[in-house]
């Protein structure tokens, strides 16, 4: 049985513009310290919500979720992976989910352009 070619994702309503996200790159996580993830988000009709999804680099875990909060001074959204979650045995991985008030949403990093999650190594 042959494999089918991958299909490009297209929204039901092509007029809906999904939010655009720029993630701040992180070089390493430190056990015992919160890891702050920040994202610049723009959406033509406003942002409904932004969520950080994270887990250890392990296929045996579900993702944890943290609501990202917008800083009123900078406009940047941020959330922390708690220090208590950071285990010296495991690197971390995360992605960000964003939905605009128009109902259009996306996950970042974007699967159509790159690996759909960020891996953050631990300082050991």
Domain of residue 85, residue span: 20-120
Characterize the bridge pairing of strands 118-120 and 47-56: unpaired
Question: Token pair for residue 103?
Answer: 């109902």
Q: What is the CATH number of the domain that holds 31?
A: 2.60.40.10
Q: Contact at 8 Å (CB) between 49 and 66?
A: no
The dihedral built from the CA positions of residue 77, 41, 93 and 107, taken in this order, carries a sign that is positive
Print pLDDT tens along the chain (124 aa): 455 555 554 555 567 788 999 998 889 999 999 999 999 999 888 999 999 999 999 989 999 999 999 999 999 999 999 999 999 999 999 999 999 999 889 999 988 889 899 999 999 8
pLDDT digits (tens, 9 = 90+) for 18-52: 899 999 888 999 999 999 999 999 988 899 999 99
**Domain annotation covers residue 2:** no
As beta bridge partners, residue 51 has 67, 97
Mean pLDDT, all residues of the chain: 89
**Domain annotation covers residue 1:** no
């Amino acid at each position: 049985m042959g494999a089918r070619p991958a299909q490009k994702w297209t929204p039901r309503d092509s007029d809906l513009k999904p939010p655009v996200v720029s993630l701040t790159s992180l070089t390493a996580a430190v056990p015992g310290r919160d890891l702050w993830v920040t994202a610049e988000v723009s959406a033509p009709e406003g942002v409904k919500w932004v969520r950080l999804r994270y887990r250890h680099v392990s296929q045996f875990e579900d993702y944890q979720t943290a609501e990202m909060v917008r800083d009123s001074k900078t406009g940047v959204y941020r959330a922390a992976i708690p220090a208590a979650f950071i285990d010296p045995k495991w690197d971390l991985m995360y992605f960000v989910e964003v939905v605009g008030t128009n109902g259009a949403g996306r996950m970042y990093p974007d699967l159509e352009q790159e690996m759909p999650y960020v891996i953050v190594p631990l300082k050991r």
